[in-house]
Amino acid sequence: MAKQDLSQWLTTVAAAELMGCHRRHVLALVAAGKLEAVRVGWSHLVRKSSARAWVRDASGRGRPKAKGRKPK
C-alpha cells in the first residue's frame, strides 16, 4: 500500500488555529460545504488550501457594525 501525503491536510483544531476561529465553527463550515474536508473515522481533515482561502476571502462574513444614533 502506498503512503499518503498528509502534508496538505489539517486537523479541525489546526484549521481553527489557522483561521482564527473555534473548532466547532470549522465543523459547521465543513457541514455547510464551505470547506473542503474528508472524514477519517470520527475525525475530519480539512484541506490546507481551503482553510487559507477562507481566511483570504472575508466577504460575507461577520455582522455589519451597528450604526450609532444620529446627533440632533
Task: Enter the C-alpha cell of residue 33.
Answer: 460545504
In this prediction, residues 30-55 reach a mean pLDDT of: 93
In this prediction, residues 3-15 reach a mean pLDDT of: 87
Does residue 9 surpass a pLDDT of 60?
yes
CA distance 47 to 15: 9
Per-residue H/E/C for 43-65: EEEEEHHHHHHHHHCCCCCCCCC
Q: Residue 25's pLDDT is what? A: 94
> Side-chain half-sphere of 46: how many Cα atoms within 13 Å?
28
Task: Kindly report the average pLDDT of the chain as a whole number.
Answer: 84
Q: Mapping DSSP to helix (H, G, I), strand (E, B) and coil, where does residue 13 land?
A: helix
Does residue 66 surpass a pLDDT of 80?
no
CA distance 46 to 11: 6
Q: Residue 32's pLDDT is what? A: 94
